[in-house]
């Protein structure tokens, strides 16, 4: 499969959605995805919806081992603020 990525000018959301729809129509992916390209940017969530999302995230338990691995993965040069003039 050949995949060509175009660089789009900032603010060309419609153009990006057209390209996404073309890819969906052409390749007909097997995964359970939406058949139509769309964007949820700017969507305003209700307080009830926000509460449901927050409640679902509270159920996720992260082990100490995983916390240590995540911490190590963000140290030194791997830190997003490394060498950017911001305190790390």
Q: Is there a domain that residue 8 lies in?
A: no
Q: Is there a domain that residue 25 lies in?
A: yes
Boundaries of domain holding 29:
13-78
Q: Is there a domain that residue 88 lies in?
A: no
Single pTM value for the model: 0.40
Q: Is there a domain that residue 2 lies in?
A: no
Provide the number of structural domains found in the chain.
1
Q: Is there a domain that residue 44 lies in?
A: yes
Q: Encode the chain (88 residues) as per-residue pLDDT tens digits.
A: 556 666 666 667 788 888 888 888 888 877 767 788 887 777 888 999 999 989 988 888 889 999 999 898 888 888 877 887 766 5
- Assigned token pair, 20: 């996404």
Q: Is there a domain that residue 48 lies in?
A: yes
CA angle 26, 28, 31 (to 5 degrees): 150
């Amino acid at each position: 499969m050949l995949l060509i990525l175009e660089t789009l000018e900032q603010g060309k959301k419609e153009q990006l959605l057209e390209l996404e729809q073309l890819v969906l129509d052409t390749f007909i992916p097997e995964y359970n995805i939406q058949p139509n390209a769309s964007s949820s940017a700017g969507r305003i969530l209700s307080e009830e919806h926000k509460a449901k999302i927050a409640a679902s995230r509270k159920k996720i338990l992260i082990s100490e081992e995983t916390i240590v691995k995540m911490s190590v993965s963000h140290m030194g040069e791997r830190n997003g603020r490394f060498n950017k003039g911001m305190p790390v």
